[in-house]
Structure 1
Amino acid sequence: MNPRSPWTLLVAAALTALSATLLAPPAAQAAPAAPRETRPVYSYQDAIRESVWVDTGLDGDRDGLADRVAVDIVRPREASRAGHRVPVIMDASPYYSCCGRGNESQKKTYDQAGDPVGFPLFYDNYFVPRGYATVLVDLAGTNRSDGCVDVGGPSDIRSAKAVVDWLNGRARAYTTRTGATPATAGWSNGRTGMIGKSYDGTIANGVAATGVRGLRTIVPIGAISSWYDYYFAQGAPLYDTGPDALSETVESPRARERCGAVQRRLIRGAPRSGDRTALWDRRDYVPKASAVRASVFAVHGMQDLNVRTRHLGQWWRALSRAGVERKVWLSQTGHVDPFDFRRATWVRTLHRWFDHYLMGIDNGIEREPMADVERAPGQWSTDRRWPAEHTAATTLHPRPGTTAGTGLLGTVPAAPGSAETFTDDPRHGEADWAAHLDRPTPDKAGFTTAPLTRDLRLSGAGRVTVTAIPTTATAHLSAVLVDLGPDTIRDYTGAGEGIRTRTDRDCWGGGTAGDSACYKVTEPDTAVVHHTVFSRGWADLGTHADARRGRPLTPGRPYTITVDLAAGDHIVPAGHRLALIIAGTDAGLIEPPADRPRLTLDLTRTSASLPVVGGPAAVDRALPAAAPAPAGPRTPPAGVGTSEGVGTSEGGGAVAGVGISAGVGAPHPRTGPPCAASPARPWPLRCRPCPRARPTRSWHSGPASRPATAPAGPARPRSGTSSPPWRPPATGPGCGASAPPDSGVPSGWSPSAPRPPPPTRPVSPAAARCC
């Protein structure tokens, strides 16, 4: 590289403040030390703010003109005057006008001339003074862009990719939406990093999967890797709406008038049956990971029940096979940005990441531990690789206990003829099941180890293979892993999904009257629990033979299916027990099947393959001495035969305590009446607090804003505690809501007060918020 190139001059200018410490004394005649960090030497107040419209080459709205996407830019004026080309930090989003970004739901703002004034999030405030440009892109069909929203499809991805091409001189742009005056990116050196949470991070994944040149790194936060897996879990519907509803939420009024054909294609191509169609294939970025040229810094909440960690797990494995440079943070939160759960460390780490991959500074970040994992609220550990080194798939077997419905989990396989039976009850979910693991209930089959003698760490994604005999033509299965024992965790079921927002602020970079760099401080929102659900997976049993298409089941016939569990990293401490629950509908997390089946598990052909650090030997060390397997059920169910191909393994067995509890339909001792106990969850577009109070239309159809401090509203019961206040559902990846005054939740209601009836009508759009 030419030592006096604009690129070198830019880095040198950004490092002026460090020159005294980076240069040897003149007498030593030493060469300058390598730069370690960019510094805030440019004025944010005097930065250039401008908008351009980039030609995508598409005509999604069928108006006879090529669609142009709006691009708002803020960049250092001094670098432009000196002829220094700068790298770009880019966030492409559909949310800049409908919903807002970040914990405070910031939206773009403009002056009377239409020039950009307010840029959401801290990226511009912090990085522009350090020699970067910040570029915020309105996806096609949103805010000030032409075209149509196709929810992660070719239009979404191409509208963001076109901007990367323009920054590298390969695409055209104009100074206005309809004019002919060209706009060039001569101020950019082409080096681009994409960042964003939820939908925004998903677009970063999709653009990287095109292999576009110039995209040097991406930072996807709580991002989708396959849109099918956002809406379905192996055929089981996760939401009662499809991508067309999300498109309606984010599209501009202009797009709503012109994009009816696109909406109809979304509806036809995404059938509620859960069949995997060509539409979903076009929105699956995982098979294209081999094309990724960019490094990847992924961040995900391990308790994210909106964009579940299955997305991270499959994307991560594909990137690993492709040899992509990568780093990961795994938090205990739900769908939360790291700026709000680990702020100072996040800003410092992101700064070093961009300095390395966009500025070319050798600061060593690529040689540091690959993974940061939150072990307790605010307490983090690191790993050289992730999943952790020496992780190996280890098989555990469920088998009957001394009381029906309370089984054992260990390395000893079940005896021939062993079985357990449960009935799908869509009123109950994982919180209810876990709270009753030591009590037989008819809505689940639970299996626990004995108290562990050593810590047992699971790192990565597991699988549960189930052989079940249904009594109906449709059936759903849930598989859940539980850490049975007391702990203090982030309350991911609370309004902040593990964070609490305060009223005081701290500042990160430069600001103006129209764009403050100061943000509300957050702190961990914690809960004391008696059990922690740390991984789960769901499936439609009808997809047992073909993952792309479900088929009706024959009652009385056994079917075998492998349920994929969400990726994560969890340590079950010594003294705690590890549990596996197999049940039907996980209330609030998947939609129920058409029927209410009774399912009989053939335990000789049911097992869990778990990613244990240390493999089978670690399990043998953690489990007490083996206990003999009970000799099968007292009355073998019809259709359950002997095991086929079930291997044995050495190691400890398990013993579990038993008890008695009320059956399904009785009041829940922790959470109240069955309907009220059904966990609410971030549903994208329809409020669905419980099956008895199902609203009749989409509850979110307009702009959304998030209150600074979310008031009490419907929430899923936290794991192992009494029920918290309710919280309404969300409005798509990255969105949530807080109860308005008319939601049916009394003002000042507390968990100790009687639970109010669930809301049965749409929540006011003014109460919704995108996070």
Structure 2
Amino acid sequence: MRVLTGLCAAVVLAAGVAVPAAATAAPARTGTEPQYDYAGAIRETVWVDLGRDGDGDGVSDRVAADIVRPKEPAEAGKKIPVIMDASPYYSSVGRGNETQFKTYDDQGRPVGFPLFYDNYFVPRGYATVLVDLAGTNRSTGCVDVGGQSDVQSAKKVVDWLNGRATGYTAKTGGTKMSAGWSDGGVGMIGKSYDGTIANGVASTGVEGLKTIVPISAISSWYDYYRSDGASFGFNPDGLAQTVERRNGGQDCSAQHRKLAQGATANGDYGPLWAERDYVANAKNVRASVFVSHGVNDLNVMPINYGQWWDALAAKGVQRKIWLAQTGHVDPFDYRRTEWVDTLHRWFDHYLMGIDNGIEKEPMATVERQPDQWANEATYPAPGTKATVLRPQPGRTPGVGTLGTTGSRGTASFTDNPKVGENEWAANPSATSANRVLYSTGALTSPVQVSGTSSITVTATPSTSTARLSAMLVDYGPAKIRNFSGPGEGIVTGTDRTCWGSSTDGDSACYKVTSADTTNVDYTIISRGWADLANYQSLSREARLTPGKAYTMTFRLASTDHVVPAGHRLALVIGGTDNGFVTAPANPPKLAIDLARTSAQVPLVGTVPARPRTESAPAGELAHVPAAARFDLR
């Protein structure tokens, strides 16, 4: 373990004699160690005034922030930093792989804090603060699913920790409560909705927020519910009702109506989504950012981390990233020891000011195969170039080659909303009525797809409504994490490992997990969906004229994947992707103009300019079915 040693004054005392500091230099501070009594830590709650009345009861809303902090620093007059997780889930769906909830004693004092952050970091001199978003658990007000109420719920607690907001000892009434023990430095962390709020608070540029660690988090709520005009078929009012269901007493029906009305069914980007677009405000971010995401996350799609990362890079924000093969999984549950160590050093550096060199380490850590990790100096990977790949027709209708030379000809398919990506990917050498497929052929050397791809399609629909879907596929045998399994790439065992100190009401011990793997013959490495009616603007769809050609560019999911030599990289284009997007009113036949269709893919390495025509392996190829969408946990 690394040892934390206090900095020397001008002199040190040895045997009662003053000795010059240069003669006995203090060792470098390389890491915090457990030194404070967790069982005797201070556990308390502050209710912070939001200055808004979200539930319309005539009273300003207050958010509850449960705190556990070591008592020794306060007794010595030393101020300490805060690790904060702001969540709507502490009494509704729970947190972590073992679905933990907050617990309280008979007098309402906090006892059990979900996750390991308090157990591990409080003995090391940090406070842990878990915030109930407005309208959830013990807070008043209403959830607005990523809007101002949600973001302000956490931002105001940051303000309170810095002496800029008012806190009270009770939900109503009470006396004012200060945070004189806080040094004002805050690091926000959390998975999914929680990490999303960290992104939102960082995008306000609030002073005192030093770092955030968003895990499988949303960067724009539009991209959780919609995709370039296409709808995933569910809306934010349902999520709001889910997280508020155990917090009776407030009337949030007006807020629910606003959410339902603002999330228009046609998939247009409107004012509701603009308020919840943190990428647009990335220019305000002051905090460092440590991103973690599963490249196979089909709940919070990977485009969320990719566009956030790119916006932060443009701003020059200090950042780091972990990418796993998992679905919607916390790194504590797929690479526990390394994650805790890295997180510890990250917080020590950005909250304690310890010079441990973590900011100089490789920027990206990527899982190449289950439990096999590679470091990259940057993300996207060094040497990545935006490469335009173009489809060329082959001898088989709807099947051809993918290279870098100009395209020609047309191809067509009929949108069948009852099928989707796995049916499209199967039998890659055969004509399909429901998709077209273009492949590089067997690669002579590996290529790496690193970053965010896009596709430009020119399509002529036979009806006035149309969906487009596209995906990049790695054809070749591989062992991958079973990201669509019940654990989304992990299996939970029965043994436990402990991460910090425990009390009777708050255990630091968690079940061990391991990789859930499966063997496949192809891997879908990136996906994207669009409504062709939004070809001109995401803010306003147009009615399509049957028989007229339209050109639309839309995004494919961010990723980092190596296609080995001998494998094929393929582009597949279809209509409605069953299980993902909703179908158009009148599914069309779509004719694709190959000369005006291309994909822009960030590649390390090259593909043949004009691959020779060859048949892909025949037969049905096994693959993991698409994962179902879940509540945002």
Question: Which residue identity does 1:721 align to in structure 2?
Answer: H
Aligned pair partner of 1:586 in 572, 577, 582: 577
Q: Give RMSD over aligned pairs.
A: 1.9
* Distance change in 2, residues 1:26/1:499 (3 Å): farther
Alignment pair present for 1:730 and 2:601: no
- Residue in 2 aligned with 1:303? 296
Distance (Å, rounded) in 1 between the aligned partners of 2:596 and 2:312: 33
Aligned pair partner of 1:511 in 502, 506, 517: 502
- CA deviation after TM superposition for structure 1 residue 659, in Å: 8.5
Figure out how many residues of one structure are paired with residues of the other and give that number.
620
Contact 1:411–1:653 (8 Å) recurs in 2: no
Contact 1:142–1:250 (8 Å) recurs in 2: yes
- Residue in 2 aligned with 1:657? 615
Q: Which runs of 5+ in 2 are unaligned?
A: 8-18
Aligned pair partner of 2:623 in 713, 716, 721: 721
* Distance change in 2, residues 1:658/1:160 (3 Å): closer
Alignment pair present for 1:46 and 2:40: yes
Aligned pair partner of 1:365 in 353, 358, 367: 358
Query: Secondary structure of the equivalent of 2:554?
Result: strand
Distance (Å, rounded) in 1 between the aligned partners of 2:316 and 2:565: 36
Seq. identity, % = 58
Contact 2:145–2:240 (8 Å) recurs in 1: yes
* Distance change in 2, residues 1:231/1:728 (3 Å): closer
* Distance change in 2, residues 1:313/1:28 (3 Å): closer
- CA deviation after TM superposition for structure 1 residue 33, in Å: 2.0
- Residue in 2 aligned with 1:611? 602
- Residue in 2 aligned with 1:646? none
- Residue in 2 aligned with 1:712? none
Alignment pair present for 1:205 and 2:199: yes
Question: Which residue identity does 2:430 align to in structure 1?
Answer: R
Alignment pair present for 1:265 and 2:258: yes
Task: Encode CA deviations 1:177-208: one digit per residue, 9 max, x unaligned.
Answer: 11231111011101000000000000000000
Contact 2:38–2:123 (8 Å) recurs in 1: yes
Question: Which residue identity does 2:73 align to in structure 1?
Answer: A
Distance (Å, rounded) in 1 between the aligned partners of 2:378 and 2:479: 27
Distance (Å, rounded) in 2 between the aligned partners of 1:502 and 1:575: 36
Contact 2:482–2:624 (8 Å) recurs in 1: no
* Distance change in 2, residues 1:599/1:728 (3 Å): closer
Contact 1:204–1:220 (8 Å) recurs in 2: yes
- CA deviation after TM superposition for structure 1 residue 512, in Å: 0.5
- Residue in 2 aligned with 1:547? 538
Distance (Å, rounded) in 1 between the aligned partners of 2:55 and 2:483: 40
Query: Secondary structure of the equivalent of 2:114?
Result: coil
Contact 2:579–2:628 (8 Å) recurs in 1: no
Contact 1:406–1:658 (8 Å) recurs in 2: no
Aligned pair partner of 1:189 in 158, 174, 183: 183
- CA deviation after TM superposition for structure 1 residue 86, in Å: 0.8
Question: Which residue identity does 1:336 align to in structure 2?
Answer: V
* Distance change in 2, residues 1:653/1:270 (3 Å): same
Query: Secondary structure of the equivalent of 1:12?
Result: coil
**Under a length normalisation based on structure 2, what TM-score does the superposition of the two structures give?**
0.95
After superposition, residues 78-227 of structure 1 pair within 5 angstroms as 78-227=72-221
Alignment pair present for 1:74 and 2:68: yes
Task: Encode CA deviations 1:325-383: one digit per residue, 9 max, x unaligned.
Answer: 00000100000000001100000000000000000000000011110011000111111
Query: Secondary structure of the equivalent of 2:6?
Result: helix
Query: Secondary structure of the equivalent of 1:29?
Result: helix
- CA deviation after TM superposition for structure 1 residue 425, in Å: 1.1
* Distance change in 2, residues 1:576/1:335 (3 Å): same
Aligned pair partner of 2:420 in 417, 429, 433: 429
Distance (Å, rounded) in 2 between the aligned partners of 1:40 and 1:260: 47
Q: Which runs of 5+ in 1 are unaligned?
A: 1-9, 14-24, 624-650, 662-668, 671-719, 735-771
* Distance change in 2, residues 1:654/1:282 (3 Å): farther
Contact 2:332–2:340 (8 Å) recurs in 1: yes
- Residue in 2 aligned with 1:521? 512
- CA deviation after TM superposition for structure 1 residue 655, in Å: 2.2
- Residue in 2 aligned with 1:351? 344
- CA deviation after TM superposition for structure 1 residue 63, in Å: 1.3
- Residue in 1 aligned with 2:13? none
Contact 1:439–1:659 (8 Å) recurs in 2: no
Distance (Å, rounded) in 1 between the aligned partners of 2:322 and 2:184: 27
Distance (Å, rounded) in 1 between the aligned partners of 2:29 and 2:617: 65
Task: Encode CA deviations 1:26-77: one digit per residue, 9 max, x unaligned.
Answer: 9982221220000001111111111110011111111111110001000001
- CA deviation after TM superposition for structure 1 residue 436, in Å: 2.1
Task: Encode CA deviations 1:485-527: one digit per residue, 9 max, x unaligned.
Answer: 0000001110111111101110000001110000000000000
Which segment drifts farther, 387-396 or 575-584?
A: 387-396
After superposition, residues 315-330 of structure 1 pair within 5 angstroms as 315-330=308-323
- CA deviation after TM superposition for structure 1 residue 658, in Å: 6.1
Contact 1:473–1:553 (8 Å) recurs in 2: yes
Query: Secondary structure of the equivalent of 2:339?
Result: helix
* Distance change in 2, residues 1:340/1:253 (3 Å): closer
Query: Secondary structure of the equivalent of 1:436?
Result: coil
Alignment pair present for 1:288 and 2:281: yes
Contact 2:428–2:618 (8 Å) recurs in 1: no
Distance (Å, rounded) in 1 between the aligned partners of 2:618 and 2:587: 24
- CA deviation after TM superposition for structure 1 residue 11, in Å: 7.1
Higher strand share: 2
Query: Secondary structure of the equivalent of 1:258?
Result: coil
Query: Secondary structure of the equivalent of 1:106?
Result: coil
Question: Which residue identity does 1:536 align to in structure 2?
Answer: R
Aligned pair partner of 2:592 in 574, 582, 601: 601
- Residue in 2 aligned with 1:34? 28
Query: Secondary structure of the equivalent of 1:563?
Result: strand
Contact 1:142–1:255 (8 Å) recurs in 2: no
Distance (Å, rounded) in 1 between the aligned partners of 2:182 and 2:422: 51
Query: Secondary structure of the equivalent of 1:339?
Result: helix
Aligned pair partner of 2:391 in 390, 398, 411: 398
Distance (Å, rounded) in 2 between the aligned partners of 1:380 and 1:463: 26
Moved over 4 A (4+): 25-28, 252-257, 658-661, 726-729
Contact 1:148–1:255 (8 Å) recurs in 2: no
- CA deviation after TM superposition for structure 1 residue 414, in Å: 2.1
Contact 1:376–1:489 (8 Å) recurs in 2: yes
Distance (Å, rounded) in 1 between the aligned partners of 2:22 and 2:198: 47
- CA deviation after TM superposition for structure 1 residue 441, in Å: 1.2
* Distance change in 2, residues 1:552/1:255 (3 Å): farther
* Distance change in 2, residues 1:299/1:59 (3 Å): same
- CA deviation after TM superposition for structure 1 residue 390, in Å: 1.8
Query: Secondary structure of the equivalent of 1:555?
Result: coil
Distance (Å, rounded) in 1 between the aligned partners of 2:151 and 2:100: 23
- Residue in 1 aligned with 2:440? 449
Distance (Å, rounded) in 2 between the aligned partners of 1:506 and 1:58: 43
- Residue in 2 aligned with 1:634? none
Contact 2:5–2:26 (8 Å) recurs in 1: no
Distance (Å, rounded) in 1 between the aligned partners of 2:133 and 2:333: 25
Distance (Å, rounded) in 2 between the aligned partners of 1:231 and 1:550: 17
- CA deviation after TM superposition for structure 1 residue 652, in Å: 3.9
- CA deviation after TM superposition for structure 1 residue 287, in Å: 1.2
* Distance change in 2, residues 1:159/1:360 (3 Å): same
Query: Secondary structure of the equivalent of 1:230?
Result: helix
Distance (Å, rounded) in 2 between the aligned partners of 1:390 and 1:659: 31
**Under a length normalisation based on structure 1, what TM-score does the superposition of the two structures give?**
0.78
Contact 1:152–1:203 (8 Å) recurs in 2: yes
- Residue in 2 aligned with 1:566? 557
Question: Which residue identity does 1:63 align to in structure 2?
Answer: D
Contact 1:248–1:256 (8 Å) recurs in 2: no
Distance (Å, rounded) in 2 between the aligned partners of 1:381 and 1:176: 49
Question: Which residue identity does 2:207 align to in structure 1?
Answer: R
Contact 1:326–1:370 (8 Å) recurs in 2: yes
